[in-house]
């Protein structure tokens, strides 16, 4: 069985971490007799350098013709002087919109071996954490009308009922497969968009009576993630709130370098680490490839239906961490410090068995 993957390495540490994910996929392919074909595309700063735009028609066509997309990270100071409309990050927003990737799944899992790396008190994470943030990805303030001048500026948070309904349905379906508990995060007491959000989510909830629905204001949700994270299972929220809360949740796991993501909705899913391009450590061997490797694991599950193979990657990561191997961001005294490629090697070896 052959699967075609569009590979968008991106900027900064992107090429390094994507190479390690491909290394793991290739080892897994050898073990399970799966064939992965990689087609190179360009996104963000590297696309600006090559095509003059953050997302070219060529790359978009390549992605649409593939079975899934593996992305590194985009952006960096090299392109900060450009007009905001053509900076690297606009390419990421554009590809999400063009491919109708409205559902962003961001699992925040605290591996047992990394409990000492979590900034939270030990008693708060003694039983581990396993939170799924379901973030609406193609609406809200990032895509609303905007204007800027040196004297004034505005950004518009817009949502339609249909946009809210479709992401809510996805979140409830996920909650049904987990612990049947979902909290919807909004700012209902201040924002009209949140009033529509809450009303619509409650209407969708009627179709999922087995899922217990609750609501939190976004500021309280941010606080609850710190003081009582174990209460959460599935968190449903809009684009900007989800961007912020998922980054916060990732730090509870020890490092943002541990958090993968899947962007779904259209025919082709996009898989990427939650962290940025970290240009300050690019080429130093300090980048943590685990989030990208776990993102590749999500790709196997959600785009290819290879559940056993996906689990094999998760298990390999867990075993390598249990054996005390660490990259710089999760290193603690007494553990074995590895470079980016060395961590990829260890996980690939464990996947192959």
Tokens of 304: 């290819």
Phi-psi region of 12 (alpha: psi -120 to 50; beta: other; left: phi over 0): left
DSSP-assigned letter for residue 327: -
Positions marked active-site: 142, 187, 219, 243, 247
Cα–Cα distance, 54 to 194 (Å, whole number): 31
CATH of domain 1-107+257-353: 3.40.718.10
Per-residue pLDDT of the chain (353 residues; tens, 9 = 90+): 799 999 999 999 999 999 999 999 999 999 999 999 999 999 999 999 999 999 999 999 999 999 999 999 999 999 999 998 899 999 999 999 999 999 999 999 988 888 877 887 777 877 778 999 999 999 999 999 999 999 999 999 999 999 999 999 999 999 999 999 999 999 999 999 999 999 999 999 999 999 999 999 999 999 999 999 999 999 999 999 999 999 888 888 888 889 999 999 999 999 999 999 999 999 999 999 999 999 999 999 999 999 999 999 999 999 999 999 999 999 989 999 999 999 999 999 999 76
* 3-state helix vs strand vs coil in the chain, percent to 5: 50, 20, 30
Q: Where are the domains of the chain?
A: 1-107+257-353, 119-252
Q: Which residues pair with 131 in a beta bridge?
A: 108
Kindly give the residue spans of alpha helices, DSSP state H, lying in 177-259. 192-205, 218-227, 239-252
Long-range contacts of 115-120 (CB under 8 A, 24+ apart): 116/332, 117/253, 117/254, 117/255, 117/330, 117/332, 118/252, 118/253, 118/254, 119/251, 119/252, 120/226, 120/229, 120/252
The yes-or-no answer to whether 1-107+257-353 and 119-252 have a common fold is yes
CATH of domain 119-252: 3.40.718.10
């Amino acid at each position: 069985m052959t699967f075609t993957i569009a590979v968008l390495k991106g900027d900064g540490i992107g090429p390094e971490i994507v190479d390690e994910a491909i290394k793991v996929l290739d080892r897994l392919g050898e073990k399970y007799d799966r064939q992965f074909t990689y087609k190179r595309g360009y996104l963000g700063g590297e696309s600006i350098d090559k095509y003059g735009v953050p997302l070219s028609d060529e790359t978009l066509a390549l992605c649409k013709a593939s079975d899934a997309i593996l992305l590194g990270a985009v952006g960096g100071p090299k392109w900060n002087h450009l007009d905001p409309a053509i900076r690297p990050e606009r390419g990421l927003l554009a590809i999400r919109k063009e491919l109708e990737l409205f559902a962003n799944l961001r699992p925040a899992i605290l591996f047992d071996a990394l409990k000492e790396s979590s900034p939270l008190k030990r008693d708060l994470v003694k039983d581990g954490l396993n939170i799924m943030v379901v973030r609406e990805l193609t609406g809200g303030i990032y895509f609303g009308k905007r204007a800027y001048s040196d004297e004034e500026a505005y950004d518009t948070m817009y949502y339609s009922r249909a946009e809210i309904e479709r992401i809510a349905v996805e979140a409830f379906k996920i909650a049904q497969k987990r612990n049947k508990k979902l909290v919807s995060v909004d700012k209902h007491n201040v924002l009209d968009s949140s009033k529509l959000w809450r009303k619509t989510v409650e209407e969708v909830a009627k179709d999922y009576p087995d899922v217990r629905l609750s609501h939190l204001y976004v500021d309280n949700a941010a606080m609850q993630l710190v003081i009582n994270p174990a209460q959460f299972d599935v968190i449903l929220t809009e684009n900007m709130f989800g961007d912020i809360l998922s980054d916060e949740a990732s730090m509870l796991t020890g490092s943002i370098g541990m958090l993968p993501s899947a962007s779904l909705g259209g025919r082709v899913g996009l898989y990427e680490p939650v962290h940025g391009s970290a240009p300050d450590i690019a080429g130093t061997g300090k980048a943590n490839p685990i989030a990208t490797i776990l993102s590749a694991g999500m790709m196997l599950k959600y785009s290819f239906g290879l559940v056993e193979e996906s689990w094999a990657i998760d298990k390999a990561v867990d075993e390598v961490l249990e054996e005390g191997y660490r990259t710089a961001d999760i290193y603690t005294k007494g553990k074995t410090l590895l470079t980016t490629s060395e961590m990829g090697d260890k996980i690939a070896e464990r996947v192959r068995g």
